[in-house]
């Protein structure tokens, strides 16, 4: 079973995403950018990596764009080239951060509210690069 990290400061959003993916992927949820970076780094160091990250942008303290930047820098320091690290799909209500997210290394971008079918398609596309898909 694939392992997905869900990052959103709204617990209800995390719960809904986790419920959508129940039985299809193992999901960890965190409610802050700092916790996301910390859990990502621990997972990497213990070789228990995430297969995908679903990341909100608008969060207090450390926003999703900074989280993405820190994850990509951590990967680079550890010899992982941009485009070959953990796929990140941005799930946000922030429309104007689209290009910045891609420049920082996001693989995909969805505006909230999200469609279940579109979310699964985007996850399948990213995980399909690793030859395992989530069935609807």
134 part of a folded domain: no
Residue 8: give its domain's CATH number: 3.40.50.2300
> Mean pLDDT across the stretch 18-30?
95
135 part of a folded domain: no
Mean residue pLDDT across the chain: 92
Q: Give residue 136's pLDDT.
A: 43
- Number of separate domains in the chain: 1
What gap in Å lies between CA 22 and CA 90, rounded to an integer?
20
70 part of a folded domain: yes
77 part of a folded domain: yes
70-108 pLDDT, tens digit each: 999 999 999 999 889 999 999 999 888 889 999 999 999
Percent of the chain whose predicted confidence (pLDDT) is above 70:
94
17 part of a folded domain: yes
Name the nearest CA neighbour of 46 among 23, 28, 69: 28
> In what side-by-side order are the strands of the sheet with 88-92?
25-30, 2-7, 52-55, 88-92, 108-111
What gap in Å lies between CA 7 and CA 57, rounded to an integer?
9
> Mean pLDDT across the stretch 13-26?
95
- The whole domain housing 99 covers 2-128
133 part of a folded domain: no
Query: Is the model's pLDDT at 59 over the cut of 50?
Result: yes
């Amino acid at each position: 079973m694939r392992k997905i990290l869900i990052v959103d400061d709204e617990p209800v959003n995390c719960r809904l995403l986790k419920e959508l993916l129940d039985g299809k992927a193992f999901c960890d949820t965190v409610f802050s950018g700092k916790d996301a970076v910390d859990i990502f780094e621990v997972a990497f160091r213990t070789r228990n990596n995430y297969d995908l990250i679903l990341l909100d942008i608008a969060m207090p303290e450390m926003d999703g764009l900074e989280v993405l930047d820190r994850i990509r820098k951590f990967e680079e320091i550890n010899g992982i080239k941009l485009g070959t690290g953990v796929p990140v799909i941005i799930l946000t209500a922030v429309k104007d951060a689209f290009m910045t997210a891609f420049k920082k290394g996001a693989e995909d971008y969805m505006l909230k509210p999200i469609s279940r079918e579109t979310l699964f398609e985007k996850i399948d596309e990213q995980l399909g690069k690793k030859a395992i898909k989530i069935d609807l």
